[in-house]
Amino acid sequence: MRPGTSIALILAARQAIFSANAAGYESGSMREEIAVVEAVYPVPSDWAANALIDDTRYQEMYRRSVDDPEGFWRDEAMRIDWIRPFTSVKQTSFNEEDFGISWFADGTLNLSANCLDRHLATRGEQIAILWEPDDPKKPERRITYRELHEEVCRFANVLKARGVRKGERVTIYLPMVPEAAVAMLACARIGAIHSIVFAGFSPDALAGRIRDCDSRIVITADQGLRGGKTIALKACVDDALATCPGVDTVIVLAHTGADVPMVDGRDFDWALAVAEQSADCQPAEMSAEDPLFILYTSGSTGKPKGVLHTTGGYAVWASMTHEYVFDYRPGQIYWCAADIGWVTGHSYVVYGPLANGATTVMFEGVPTYPDASRFWQVVDKFGVEIFYGAPTALRALMREGDEWVARTSRRSLRLLGSVGEPINPEAWSWYHEVVGKGRCPIVDTWWQTETGGIMISPLPGATALKPGSATRPFFGVQPRLLDAEGKVIEGPGDGCLVITDSWPGQMRTVWGDHERFFQTYFSTFKGTYFTGDGCRRDEDGYYWITGRIDDVINVSGHRMGTAEIESALVAHPKVAEAAVVGMPHDIKGQGIYAFVTCNVEVEPDEALRRELVAWVRREIGPVATPDVLQFAPGLPKTRSGKIMRRILRKIGENDVANLGDTSTLADPSVVDNLLANRPQPA
């Protein structure tokens, strides 16, 4: 975040609506829009009665977490098995003079032992990982806690045999296979720091991350498999290593069995290496503040940062948020559909669920292969009770039509979750009604790579839901809204979202650049953690993330978050997805440039373009009228599925020579298509 330039106060689209109303515009359907936004779904009575946390308990616990953090966290940290108990709970300051963040500092523990060893006596034969392959005709894998423990120990011994020591960085470039979790837990077992790079990033992106954290070992597979297509992972590693002279060891998992060239003395076959090792490996005693992993942020806003998380606080946070937000009970089948290449996969596929002794589903494939029923077929196959996914996947499935969902049962589902982007009320309703048949609460969880785990979210037994709102803060999280001058906004209002005090799962530094850590997050508004997101708080104290502050557009003095305009577009029955950015405009200062992807059966034409422009004008108000509306078969997205507005902004600004780092794009050809089809301003 560039301090100064990007700090802008977001006023809700609603404010724009009011201005438009004041200017005398007709507002029939605006009232509808507000009605949709403000729909409230009370906690279902069976949830209120049976959940771990009801509203009274939430209020009590939240108050204690803020009034007596020492006591609260001392108790909550007992969910983790400590080797040496901590005496100090919290030493944190966001001020420049005494800046520092440490939690449970003198305690020691091992996270792999917390995820494995401690479960052996009680649930050794329970399935820990339920793996579903890309191809539904191939068999699934069911790995018990005992088996997982054994595999992790053997692989940890492989790493040791290759000379990997405590504190050393290990790069993991694996597809969604159980061995990815094995590699993570093996690192945690011996105190090595893992850095997972999404197995789909280009050789360049991989090389940059290997060099940045200076790792000399890479763990990969011959090939990945997604949506029926193979990804030449080993070949990417070979390419990347041409510019990474420090790497001396590559461990290669034979996943598809493809014939890949192996470099003598550098490359080792996973299975052969593991076969030589014993299944006995003592977990290393780690300090709470020893690093656990580095994860580079997805890069939607610029050069990726190596976000560093440490062991003790992260363990408490991942386990606790997983249990309370998903109301997790031992034995339930739980599925987080995120890739381990991003933080959701770290905290909610692997560490949180395994620390809690869960059965966690790991899915290799994509939502639309072989067809758009795939997610829900997997739900039926395993009897999934809790499903956690991303709005981008939901919108892709919505686009294909309801019948793909309707042909599955989904009877086992009791709770749905959303993460990664604001979920448009339209997509929320579809998720709730069509997927969950109106039976399942939705937890819309706001958090960041930097926060380690969920920060603002409903608790299903405690919180009435409003579609599109992440609702209320989790325990210990103290959000605050600030205006552009840094003045605190009390009560309902709109502003920059900051967090005023530390929480155990907070990142501790940017790898190799502590100054950048301070500058990025703590210098903009002194004494607080700056999230970079804009947010609105309503009369009930509910939080509504309005998008990144960078994405705010200012049309004739009206500041608008892009999320609201996008939601209005997506609410049109023919629209599947939309991205909105600002563009220079002679009269208005900034104009609105909308990129729109239509549902599969729709042929976009000039009539539809005009219809959509009029639709937004009616839904939100004349200030939100798009100046340019471009139909796009696809939008540029990061590998984790987020729209890269930074690139769209450049197109909007007609500055196409400077698109910036596109190495983390899922499909770079999408950009060529956008550039080739730019319409003339209306």
Q: Which is nearer to ligand ATP, 299 or 582 (CB)?
A: 299
Spatial separation of the C-alpha atoms in residues 391 and 90, rounded to whole Å? 35
Q: Residues in contact with ligand ATP, total (CB under 6 A)?
A: 25
Spatial separation of the C-alpha atoms in residues 643 and 637, rounded to whole Å? 4
Q: Which is nearer to ligand ATP, 449 or 597 (CB)?
A: 449
Q: Which is nearer to ligand ATP, 444 or 566 (CB)?
A: 444
Binding of ligand ATP by 310 (CB under 6 A)? no
Q: Which is nearer to ligand ATP, 80 or 340 (CB)?
A: 340
Contact 425, 36 (CB under 8 A): yes
Look at residues 548, 558, 632, 541 and name the one whose alpha carbon lies nearest to residue 594.
Answer: 632
Q: How far apart are the first and last CA of the chain?
A: 32
Element (H, E) at 29: helix 28-37
Q: How far is the CB of 421 from ligand ATP (least distance, A)?
A: 5
Which residue's entry shows tokens 């003790």?
Answer: 312
Q: How far is the CB of 542 from ligand ATP (least distance, A)?
A: 12
Q: How far is the CB of 324 from ligand ATP (least distance, A)?
A: 16
Annotated binding site for Mg(2+): 570, 572, 575
Q: Which is nearer to ligand ATP, 316 or 443 (CB)?
A: 443
Spatial separation of the C-alpha atoms in residues 662 and 656, rounded to whole Å? 12
Q: How far is the CB of 22 from ligand ATP (least distance, A)?
A: 29
DSSP string for 365-399: S-TTSS-TTHHHHHHHHHT-SEEEE-HHHHHHHHH
- Range 435-494, binding ligand ATP (CB under 6 A): 444-449, 470
- Near ligand ATP by CB under 6 A, which window of 228-236, 274-282, 291-299, 598-606? 291-299
Q: How far is the CB of 423 from ligand ATP (least distance, A)?
A: 7
Q: Which is nearer to ligand ATP, 183 or 507 (CB)?
A: 507
Q: How far is the CB of 317 from ligand ATP (least distance, A)?
A: 15
Residues with Cβ < 8 Å from 318, sequence gap 6 or more?
A: 346, 347, 348, 351, 352, 355, 452, 453, 505
> From the DSSP assignment, how many helices (H) and strands (E) are in the chain?
24, 31
Burial (CB < 10 A; 0-12, 13-18, 19+), residue 478, is middle
Binding of ligand ATP by 419 (CB under 6 A)? yes
Residue nearest to ligand ATP (CB): 297
Q: Which is nearer to ligand ATP, 157 or 531 (CB)?
A: 531
Binding of ligand ATP by 599 (CB under 6 A)? no
- Range 540-569, binding ligand ATP (CB under 6 A): 545, 548
Binding of ligand ATP by 301 (CB under 6 A)? yes
Biggest CA-to-CA distance, the chain: 78
Residues with Cβ < 8 Å from 228, sequence gap 6 or more?
A: 134, 135, 369, 370
Q: How far is the CB of 175 from ligand ATP (least distance, A)?
A: 19
Q: How far is the CB of 385 from ligand ATP (least distance, A)?
A: 21
Annotated binding site for CoA: 226-229, 344, 556, 617
Burial (CB < 10 A; 0-12, 13-18, 19+), residue 364, is buried
Binding of ligand ATP by 342 (CB under 6 A)? yes
Binding of ligand ATP by 582 (CB under 6 A)? no
- Range 631-670, binding ligand ATP (CB under 6 A): 642
Binding residues for ligand ATP, rule: CB under 6 A, are: 297-301, 304, 342-343, 419-422, 444-449, 470, 531-533, 545, 548, 642
